[in-house]
Amino acid sequence: MSQRIPRLIHSLTPVRHFSAFKRENRRVVVTGVGCVSPVGVSVETAWKNILSGHCGVVKLTDSAFDKLPCRVAAQIPKDDFDISKIFTKSELKSMSPAIAYSLIATKEALSQSQWLPMEIKEQNRTGVAVGIGMVDLVDICEAYDALQKGYNRVSPFFVPRILPNMAAGQISIKYGFRGPNHSVSTACATGAHAIGDGFRFIQRNEADVMVCGAGEASISPLSFAGFCRLRALSTSFNDDPQSASRPFDEKRDGFVMGEGAAIFVLEELEHAKCRNAPILGEILGYGCSGDAAHLTSPREDGLGAFLAMQRALEDAQLKPEDVGYINAHATSTPIGDAIESRAITRLFGDHASKLAVSSTKGAHGHLLGSAGNLEALFALLACRHGQFPPTVNLNSISEDMKSVNYIAKVSQSWPDGKRRVAVKNAFGFGGTNASLCIAEFKD
């Protein structure tokens, strides 16, 4: 028997004609974007407000938050945005707010991309990669309360509302997209991972078009209590909410929770050109890593962030000096911002002082699972329009972080010269990291 095993293994070993199956990576461009955010419920409004330094952080007025250490959040402006006027009551029963936000942002992105395929072949080559970082805790609490009154009081839509893949599912069903139907849930790196995974699907010819991003709607007393117990939220600015989110600033004391969604339509370059689609920019590279260190904190030396950025640049076949801007993850926590700054300095060396670095979270807070994609949108627009978005509330930088060139308070113009290239970082609890390399489109 022992003599037969090697022969059996040999007989099952495939012939290694690798060259016959080798594919060149395809170029991936962005042809549409959409967003629902605390700084605007359209891309045009959000970008205008980001450049002007507008802040969407407000004081929470619900009495349920009164006894909690943090009482501020970055909420979607409710005065001019009411999802009950966008969806029917029946539709809203089947979806959480995060799913609703994702559908609204998708509609804007597909409209800009001019991509609403009716032919089966085109629908089969269009996929969805949209995630949710945290399920709706309000839904869970309400379902549990209903169960105490009787089994029949639990909504039949309870499970579909809380599954993290249902934003992707609802988008796929609505538009008939039968390409890869994919969802990631990697905490605060969710949206960046979704864009990166969609990029890979197209790059490797598994789809021609991918709808990518994430949605998040986690502002509730229970989620606040949990994050406060972790000492993750800002608690020093309850009476001055617009000063609470302050990435890289010496007085930062925790993040401010936000809500919303941002969606990208990614497309293979030749496919986009053949139909004269608008090309807003290009995804050049994608890098992932794990910190392998701690449940909630990154490694002190920033190795996880360093590796994600390094791998994104390697994937894009770029050198550190080719990058002009970094949209940092920087959530406004004392430890996290300093570690990311350390990682940037380590990877970019002397070029770090010439890089423009900012975190738009000062304006829109931290959207958890939908942070990386919303901020990737602003990095894309920075490359497209040649403007660096500012870091709101960045007044004073500590000595150990001054080796990096931060864009503070006021937007700046991108210097003329070589191709505009940006890196977007997103890091999550559990030590999960993602970096995207984004650039202006050059044919």
Which member of 193, 271, 364, 366 is catalytic?
Answer: 366
SS (H, E, C) the chain: CCCHHHHHHHHHCCCCCHHHHCCCCCCEEEEEEEEEECCECCHHHHHHHHHHCCCCEEECCCHHHCCCCCCEEECCCCCCCCHHHCCCHHHHHCCCHHHHHHHHHHHHHHHHHCCCCCCHHHHHCEEEEEEECCCCHHHHHHHHHHHHHCHHHCCCCHHHHHCCCHHHHHHHHHHCCCCCEECCCCHHHHHHHHHHHHHHHHHCCCCCEEEEEEEECCCCHHHHHHHHHCCCECCCCCCCHHHCCCCCCCCCCCECEECEEEEEEEEEHHHHHHCCCCCCEEEEEEEEEECCCCCCCCCCCCHHHHHHHHHHHHHHCCCHHHCCEEECCCCCCHHHHHHHHHHHHHHHHHHHHCCEEECCHHHHCECHHHHHHHHHHHHHHHHHHCEECCECCCCCCCHHHCCCCECECCCEECCCCCCCEEEEEEEECCCEEEEEEEECCCC
Q: Is 329 a catalytic residue?
A: yes
Q: Is 188 a catalytic residue?
A: yes
Q: Is 366 a catalytic residue?
A: yes
Which member of 182, 193, 329, 364 is catalytic?
Answer: 329
Which member of 35, 70, 188, 383 is catalytic?
Answer: 188
Catalytic residue ranges = 188, 329, 366
